[in-house]
């Protein structure tokens, strides 16, 4: 049996780190003493000795592969990069769908494929999913791409379990990020959950940080929903 990681911090990689949930995850991990490598098109407003940035457009497969190779060995990886394109069954844009598949699913698969072989036993992967992966009006292609993460995460979790490497999904509901306020989604604006406010990025980041911690060593292949009661 592989040994559990004994240290609370190590080397982490976070995609989509320039804003929203990704930025919150980087901030949380740096606060816990992790050394963090962030990948995004724009450099985030982070000035910390434990942080380095790799600029890359992850929707470009070659650029994604190069960025993951440049990251080097890590103890944990978080895939937070994402986009939201909306449209009902009549207005679905297949190019938008292809973009979301590349960024949400293909990049996650490439990240795991590249990093897992170089990861020590007991490593961690967390993928940022979505509460609406089970389906929601006006979000068919987005929901489909996020739903695919469940199959990817559970399959990889089963394969990596003998090495003590965990793979989990954190699936937020409507979260107070720039994506939530995107004017392009005005026709399908999110509803407030029963708690009366949107999920905060820091709350999602806190769950991610827990899944990377030693006490979460037995959690793998799971989807953890954070939605303020919207799924009740």
Active-site residues, by number, are 142
Return the SS3 of 47: coil
Q: Are 201 and 23 in contact (CB under 8 A)?
A: yes
Q: What does the alpha-carbon distance between residue 179 and residue 82 come to, in Å, rounded to a whole number? A: 9
Q: Using alpha carbons, select from 29, 13, 6 the residue that is nearest to residue 215.
A: 6
Return the SS3 of 16: coil
Q: What does the alpha-carbon distance between residue 58 and residue 42 come to, in Å, rounded to a whole number? A: 11
Instruction: Please provide residue 168's backbone torsions phi and psi, each rounded to the nearest 5 degrees.
Output: -135, 165
Q: Using alpha carbons, select from 2, 150, 17 the residue that is nearest to residue 82.
A: 17
DSSP code at position 158: H
Tell me the two tokens of residue 6. 């004994």
Q: What does the alpha-carbon distance between residue 196 and residue 182 come to, in Å, rounded to a whole number? A: 20
User: What is each CA distance from 44 to 27, 119, 123, in whole angstroms?
Assistant: 10, 26, 25
Q: Using alpha carbons, select from 97, 92, 22, 15 the residue that is nearest to residue 56.
A: 15
Q: Are 176 and 201 in contact (CB under 8 A)?
A: yes
């Amino acid at each position: 049996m592989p040994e559990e990681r004994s240290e609370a911090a190590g080397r982490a990689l976070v995609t989509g780190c320039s804003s929203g949930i990704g930025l919150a995850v980087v901030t949380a991990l740096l606060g816990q003493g992790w050394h963090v490598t962030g990948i995004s098109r724009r450099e985030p407003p982070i000035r910390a000795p434990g942080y380095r940035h790799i600029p890359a457009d992850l929707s470009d497969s070659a650029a994604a592969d190069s960025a993951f190779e440049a990251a080097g060995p890590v103890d944990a990886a978080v895939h937070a990069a994402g986009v939201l394109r909306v449209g009902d069954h009549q207005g679905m844009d297949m190019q938008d769908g292809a973009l979301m598949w590349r960024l949400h699913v293909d990049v996650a698969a490439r990240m795991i494929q590249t990093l897992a072989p170089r990861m020590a036993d007991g490593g961690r992967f967390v993928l940022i999913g979505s509460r609406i992966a089970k389906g929601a009006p006006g979000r068919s292609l987005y929901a489909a791409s996020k739903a695919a993460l469940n199959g990817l995460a559970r399959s990889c979790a089963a394969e990596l379990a003998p090495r003590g490497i965990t793979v989990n999904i954190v699936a937020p509901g409507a979260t107070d990020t720039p994506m939530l306020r995107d004017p392009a989604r005005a026709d399908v604006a999110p509803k407030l959950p029963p708690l009366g406010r949107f999920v905060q990025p820091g709350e999602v980041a806190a769950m991610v940080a827990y899944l990377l911690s030693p006490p979460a060593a037995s959690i793998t292949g799971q989807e953890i929903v954070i939605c303020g009661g919207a799924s009740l």
